[in-house]
Amino acid sequence: MNGVTPDQVDQSLTSQLSIRSVTKTFPGKSGFLDKLLGKSSRDFTAIEDISMEIEPNTFVTIIGPSGCGKSTLLGMVAGLMPITSGEILLNGNPITGPGPNRGMVFQNYALMPWMTVEENIRFAVETVHPDLSDKGMKRLIKENIQLVGLEGAESKHPHELSGGMRQRVGIARALAIDPQILLMDEPFGALDALTRGFLQEEIERIWERQRKTVIMITHSIDEALLLSDRIVMMTRGPAARVDEILEVPFPRPRDRESIEQHPAYHDLKAEMESHLFRETRAVEAARIGRK
Amino acid sequence: MAVTSAAPPTKEKSESLWLNENVKAAGLFILSLVLFLSFWEIGARAGWFSKGMPTASATFKEFWWWVTNPFFDNGPNDLGIGWNLLISLRRVAIGYVLASVVAVPLGVLIGMSPVARKGFNPYVQLLKPVSPLAWLPLGLYILRDSEQTGVFIIFISSIWPTLINTSFGVANVDKDYLDVANTLGASRLRTIFKVIIPAALPNIVSGLRISMGIAWLVIVAAEMLLGTGLGYFIWNEWNNLSVPNILVAIFIIGIVGLILDNIFAVLEKVVAFGRNS
């Protein structure tokens, strides 16, 4: 424990997920052949020295300008991407690969088009619990379909559903395996504004029932404020870092109208807006400067 | 995401029957057919073509006779067209099924492993452009049997499209699907059978469709040099200088090819599930 302050020790004892000094570097091409062909490129550091502690039953949102490595961070928590340096601990055990203790919701839903709604969820449950009885399996699938409000659509294929309904299936699939942590990568990014608002409120409702630890990536300030307990604001990439972590004090259950009445709402929103605006402007400036 | 229900642009005016696209197309088809048949009939009667060219009506009579008497057997040189068709179909079926049984698993392997892809690519690239008939002498020499040689030719020519399409489909499975399987901790085998193969199925079926088309093309040519079958029927009728029978056979080969292709077109729709192929 040398080099760790007592405060950090306390925090990591209660936290479910610890991200410790995590850096991700994508190696560039620097081999002899690449140099010969003039194709060599430098290593690219996506995120640098990111640390955070996430307690159980917390809804954490990560927000930042595009290209800041949010998805990279989530990919490493999911175990889909190797960590360059640092470590991520789940209940004290380092994450070395993907596993069913983390459920993932994808931006493009990632439903298997050849499976019905029920079969998509069944695929997940069967993979994680191969020994479950047929009865138990059916009950679990039914419960999760009801949870996301998709009764009646069980035997439809994804292409017969709207985007919002597809993402409900994606959420049901992730929840059906009862993960310890739910990871959501811009889950509403591909939806129109109305469906998006509706689904955000659904997520709030579902979260109140299960109170799972959630890490969600988003671009939307309103979405973050409605759903999160904590908002992690990241700086622009390359070598993105955590700029600031905001605590969201609104009481639960929440809805859009009531949080807007809360005295802290406008300050938080203004703070996030100025952060995002500053970072995005710097990204744009850097892009123009490079050309 | 692709728009799943792309409706054709609707016109505000309710179109009259005569302006409907399908009606127009059918009209064009019938008109051109009538023109062609009358040109043929008149030309043959007036002696515009080579000597012995049959008239359209004579050919049609001959066609009717063959399709109403498909199954008679007076020895290998006088066999009903039904028997010949079945013989050709059987050869195609055996060679094609064997080719598919080899090509699909091999395609999956090649598609999943970049090493296998690079390792096998030279064979595929070298053998793919070889005309199927170039294998004929080799087949006859090795197998010493015309029946087996026919099957071998079908096998060797119909293996490539399925192999190439399968490996392409498997190599290009949407990464999201694989991520789903990975995050759930699915085993390699489960991922292959439940995710990779179903995801690549539209490509696999397109490959099978192209392979079937090629097999049907090749069998006729190969059978001219073997005995029996539709190809041999044509060759035999050429030796008899019976041009109407040759035309009848061409028509039947076309119809059967059309039916086979349509079966696969239906299959392609069945496995698409809203993915546009």
Prior bond to A253 cis, omega within 30? yes
Q: Is A117 an 8 Å CB contact of chain B? A: no
- In this complex, do B1 and A190 lie within 8 Å of one another by their Cβ atoms? yes
CB contact under 8 A, A163 and B1: yes
Buried b (16+ CB within 10 A) or exposed e, A108-133: bbbbbbbbbbbbbbbbbbbbbbeeee
| Cβ-Cβ contacts under 8 Å, B181 against chain A | 127
Find the residue in A nearest to B196 (Cα): A112
| Mean predicted lDDT score pLDDT of chain A | 87
Q: What is the pLDDT, as a whole number, of residue A42? A: 79
Q: Output the six-digit token pair for B65.
A: 């006779």
Decide if A32 touches B, using CB distance below 8 A: no
What's the DSSP call for residue B193? Answer: I
Among candidates B4, B174, B179 on the partner chain, residue whose Cβ is nearest the Cβ of A80? B179
Name every chain A residue with its beta carbon within 8 A of the beta carbon of B200.
Answer: none
- Residues in chain B within 8 Å Cβ distance of A103: 183
B269 chain-A contacts, CB cut-off 8 A = none
Q: Would you state the pLDDT for residue B9?
A: 52
Instruction: Mark yes or no for CB contact A159/B185 under 8 Å.
Output: no
- Gyration radius from chain B CA atoms: 24
Domain boundaries, chain A: 6-101+179-290
Q: Do A104 and B183 touch (CB under 8 A)?
A: yes
Q: Where does A6-101+179-290 sit in CATH, by number?
A: 3.40.50.300
Q: How far apart are the C-alpha atoms of B82 and B79, rounded to whole Å?
A: 8
Q: What is the pLDDT of residue B14?
A: 54
Q: Which residues of A touch B177 (CB under 8 A)?
A: 110, 112
Coil, helix or strand at residue B225: coil
| Short-list B199, B176, B196, CA closest to A105 | B176
Domain extent listing, chain B:
24-68, 81-272
Report how far apart the first and last C-alpha atoms of chain A are (Å, whole number): 47
For chain A, helix (H) and strand (E) counts, in that order, are 10, 10
A163 interfaces chain B, CB cutoff of 8 Å: yes
A157 CB contacts (<8 Å, ≥6 apart)? Answer: A113, A114, A115, A116, A117, B273, B274
A71-117 residue pLDDT tens = 889 999 999 999 999 999 998 899 999 989 999 999 999 999 999 99
A13-65 pLDDT tens trace:
678 899 998 898 888 877 777 777 777 777 888 888 899 999 999 999 999 88
When scoring B173, B183, B201 by the number of chain A Cβ atoms within 10 A, the one with the most, hence best to mutate, is: B183
Lookup: tokens for B253: 């080969």
pLDDT at B76: 66
What whole-number distance in Å separates Cα of residue A46 and Cα of residue A76? 12
* Residue A257, φ and ψ in degrees, nearest 5: -65, -45
Task: Kindly list the residues from chain A whose CB atom is less than 8 angstroms away from the CB atom of residue B190.
Answer: 127
Query: For the complex shown, is ipTM > 0.90?
Result: no
Chain B interface residues (partner A, CB cutoff 8 A): 1, 4, 174, 176-177, 179-186, 190, 194-195, 198-199, 201, 271, 273-275
With contacts defined as CB-CB under 8 Å, which chain A residues touch B184? Answer: 98, 100, 123-124, 127-128, 177
Report pLDDT for A13.
62
Among A99, A113, A123, beta carbon nearest to B273: A113
Fold (topology level) of B81-272 = MetI-like fold (1.10.3720)
Q: Is a pLDDT exceeding 60 seen at residue A8?
A: no
pLDDT value of position A2 = 44
Identify which of B1, B174, B182 has the shortest CB distance to residue A98. B182
Q: Collect all residues of chain B within an 8 Å Cβ-Cβ radius of residue A157.
A: 273-274
Q: Contact, A235 vs A279, CB < 8 A?
A: yes
* Chain B residue at shortest CA distance from A104: B183
B250 alpha-carbon distance from chain centroid? 15
Label each residue of B162-177 as H, E or C: HHHHHHHHHHCCCHHH
Smallest Cα distance from B165 to chain A, Å: 19
Give contacts of A190 with chain B, Cβ < 8 Å: 1
Residue in chain A lying closest to B180 (CA)? A110
Rounded to a whole number of angstroms, the distance from the CA of A281 to the nearest CA of chain B is 29
Tens-binned pLDDT, residue by residue, of chain B (277 aa): 444 444 455 544 555 656 788 888 899 999 999 999 989 888 888 878 877 788 888 888 878 888 777 787 777 667 777 888 888 899 999 999 999 999 999 999 999 998 988 898 899 889 888 888 888 888 889 988 888 888 999 999 999 999 999 999 999 999 999 999 999 989 999 999 999 999 999 999 999 999 999 999 999 888 888 777 888 888 888 888 788 888 888 998 999 999 999 999 999 999 988 786 4
